[in-house]
Amino acid sequence: MKRTLGLLAALTVTACATVREPPPAAPAPAPAPVAATPAPVPLVAPAPEPPVTVAGITPEKYADLFDRIRAGYQLPDAAAVSIDREFRWYSNNPEYLDRVFGRAGPYLYHIVGEIEARQMPLELALLPVVESAFEPYAYSRARASGLWQFIPPTGSRFGLKQNWWYDGRRDVIESTRAALDYLQFLHDEFDDWLLAVAAYNCGEANVARAVRANAAAGRPTDFFSISARLPKETRAYVPKLLAMARLFFSPQDYGIEFSTLPNEPYFVSIDTLGQIDMKLAADLAGISYDELYTLNPAFHRWATDPAGPHRLLVPADTADLFRESVRQLTPDERMRVKHHRVE
């Protein structure tokens, strides 16, 4: 009998991010429960099976977003001990998967659509599992932040604004755009998605140096052939993604069952027409303060950045109400902060 797991409240980060910033309290989003029973784990890559797709079905026609992701797989699986090791950990920790995919729910639809628009492998939608465990406030010892774990210089390099009011590395829309820009840049450089993913973790210079060394020695230059020349974290990083992709593709083969995730937008981006108090915005949208920050973790003060971006993400079912309410605000109503002159 399969055991159904409830969504755990603890927001544990066990991937690349190891430290959390103290954000405004933000609860885990709607769960995507996972059920599990023990099952033997193969020590070699399973034989590939047909993707869960039907001829003529466009991405928007899938009822389950998870099936849409599976249908867009492009990365090769491999029979590697390093993948098997990570696979065992994932398959033996269904509670962790329950937490991670519970947090992923609000963000995945947007990420999947952006990846598809660029015709990139949809396994990349699972990369935040490895990077941040889909914790929007994840913060590492290397000062990497957000779902995609940008360090400040790389964030600036790819156009992510960072100041006292706002950190674009935590902006769901902007950080996804920057991460895919970076991954595409790396793929253009190496012409290999696994090398691009490795370089995303440790930098293109490290991967290029390892490729040159193997080429000079007359050895293959694929990821698994150069991995011994890469940092220890990177040697596990790519196998983690491939292990997650393997398990996600056919979880039922390993006693894991993912519930469906509706293939529809969770949030809508609404123009705020200027700076706005976050508590007021939550009230206008009819949602909690915590939920507003879950969708808009880039704003780390009581109000949005006066210099923009002038937009907020709100749940799709409250978007029309929020848009109309914002339009009706007078300039004096937009900020609840009162200024007092001290004489």
Spatial CA neighbour of 120 closest among 179, 161, 169, 46 = 179
Q: How far, in whole angstroms, is CA 33 from its chain's centroid?
A: 18
C-alpha–C-alpha distance, residues 17 and 140, integer Å: 4
Give 134's DSSP letter.
Answer: T
Single out the residue of 116, 123, 212, 149 nearest to residue 21, CA to CA. 149
Measured distance CA(152)–CA(44) in Å, rounded: 39
How does DSSP classify residue 119?
T
Q: Catalytic amino acids?
A: 131
Task: Note whether 326 and 276 are within 8 A (CB).
Answer: yes
Sign of the C-alpha dihedral computed for residues 248, 83, 39 and 106 taken in this order: negative
Task: Give φ, ψ of 314 to 5 degrees.
Answer: -135, 155
From 177, 167, 62, select the one nearest 118 (Cα to Cα). 177
User: Which residues on adjacent β-strands are paired with residue 84?
Assistant: none
Whether the Cβ atoms of residue 105 and residue 261 lie closer than 8 Å to each other: yes
DSSP characters over 266-281:
SEEEEE-SS--BHHHH
**Max Cα distance, the chain (Å):** 78
Q: Name the residue type at position 79.
A: A
The amino acid occupying position 127 is: L
**Is there a contact between 100 and 82 (Cβ–Cβ < 8 Å)?**
no
- Per-residue tokens: 131: 């990077």
Residue 155 tokens, joined: 């964030």
CB 134 within 8 A of CB 111: no
